Amino acid sequence: MTHATTTASLMRPPFPAERGVDAHNLKLGMWVFLASEVMFFTALIGSYVILRFGAPGEWARPGTVLNVPVTAFNTFLLICSSVSMVKAFAAIADGNQKMLKVWLLLTIIGGAMFVGIQAYEYTHLVERGFLPSGVRDGSELAALVANGTLPQATMGLYGSTFYIMTGFHGFHVTCGVIAMTYLYFTKALRGKYTQQDYRGIETVGLYWHFVDLVWIILFTIVYLI
């Protein structure tokens, strides 16, 4: 038996039912929810691709507006937090409650740091004159537009797409951090997760990996291209 089917039989609903997929309801529900999230990000990311393809001019060169080194570190951080999340999952699957708490806490800290760094980046960008509506008059970036370093025709689109994609991603990360913190205090710390039943960890883990996955795509198409 694999991991998946074992946990399914351990965590069946407490009543007989036809065999569905071999996954408990929380896990199935989370996968279903993630399918809807794929479509939500499709609307945002798809619009970005469509707008950029049809843009009336050149797009700003990567690194001229956004801080790639700091965001690269942030990307690495989020990937690390995904690893700590899966280590937390593996720990409780092996029955190790202590390491579950350690890895889960590290994940929460990693996620919170990601949001913090992103928020700091936002304030910095706004200060330099980069807004959802484009470049603010009289700002540092406005000077770059004036001297031709930045393309005037597409900065409005750049701002709009940048903030909506990274903003909603950041919102999703924040919700994940809140959810994990809640589970950490109400369940993990109190020993409510056991080798027999760790459905909540598995479920929140799936959400967290998804959020990381979306960022992997976003980092490339927003910051590097």
Partner 1 sequence: MGFWRKYIFSTDHKIIGIQFLFLSLFFLLMGGLLAMQMRWQLGFPGKPMPGGGILPESMAPGGVILPEYYIQLVTMHGTFMVFFAIMPLLVGVYANFLIPLKLGAHDMAFPRINMASFWTAFLAGMVMLASLFVPEGASRAGWTMYAPLSARLDLSGAGLGQSLWSVSIVFLGLSSILGALNYITTIINNRAPGMTWFRMPLSVWSLFITAILGLLALPVLSGAAIMLLFDQTIGTHFFDPPAGGQALLWQHLFWFFGHPEVYILILPAMGMVSDIIANGSRKPIFGYHSMVFAIIAIGFLGWVVWGHHMFVSGMNPTLGSSFMVSTMVIAVPSAIKTFNWMGTMWRGNLHFHVPMMNAVAFVAMFVIGGLSGVFMAATPVDIHIHDTYFIVAHLHYVLFGGSLFALFGAIVYWYPKMFGRMMSERWGKIHFWLTFVFYNLTFFPMHILGMAGHMRRLYDPTQYDFLKPYQPMNEFISVCAFLLFATQSIFALNFVISLFRGRKAELNPWHDNGLEWTLPSPAPHGNWTQVPSVYRGPYEFSSPLVAEDYLPQTQKLPTDQEPAVLAGAAS
Partner 2 sequence: MDTVQHKHPPYLLIWLYLALMTAAELALAFELPIARNLKLVLLLGLAVWKALLVAMFFMHLKFERWNLRILFIIPLPLAALFIFAAISQKFW
Q: What residue ranges bind partner 2 (CB under 8 A)?
A: 1-4, 6, 9-10, 21-23, 28, 31-32, 34-35, 38-39, 42, 46, 49-50, 53-54, 62-63, 68, 72, 75-76, 79-80, 82-83, 85-87, 90, 93-94, 205-206, 209-210, 212-213, 216-217, 219-221, 224-225
CB atoms within 10 A of CB 66: 19
| Min CB(223)–partner 1 separation in Å | 19
Other C-beta atoms within 10 Å of 155: how many? 24
Asked if 5 is part of the footprint of partner 1 (rule: CB under 8 A), the reply reads no
Choosing among partner 1, partner 2, none, which partner's interface includes residue 132 (Cβ < 5 to 8 Å by kind)? partner 1
Distance CA 209, CA 202 (A): 11
Q: Which is nearer to partner 2, 90 or 126 (CB)?
A: 90
C-beta of 37 vs 197, nearer to partner 1: 37
**In whole angstroms, how far apart are CA 116 and each of 33, 139, 178, 196?**
26, 24, 14, 35
Closest separation in Å from C-beta 203 to partner 1: 11
Q: What is the signed CA dihedral for 44, 49, 55, 60, rounded to 10 degrees?
A: 90
Is 21 a binding residue for partner 1 by CB under 8 A? The answer is yes
**Is 47 near partner 1 (CB under 8 A)?**
yes
DSSP letter for 134, please: E
C-alpha span between 121 and 139 (Å, rounded) = 17
Cβ closest to partner 2, residue 88 vs residue 129: 88
Query: Half-sphere exposure (CA, 13 Å, Cβ side) for 94?
Result: 10
DSSP three-state, residue 61: coil
Question: What does the alpha-carbon distance between residue 41 and residue 45 come to, in Å, rounded to a whole number?
Answer: 6
Cβ proximity of 129 and 136 under 8 Å: yes
Q: Which is nearer to partner 1, 14 or 148 (CB)?
A: 14
- Give the residues lining the site for partner 1 (CB under 8 A): 13, 15-21, 23-25, 28-29, 32-33, 35-37, 39-44, 47, 50-51, 54-57, 131-134, 153-154, 156-157, 159-161, 163-164, 168
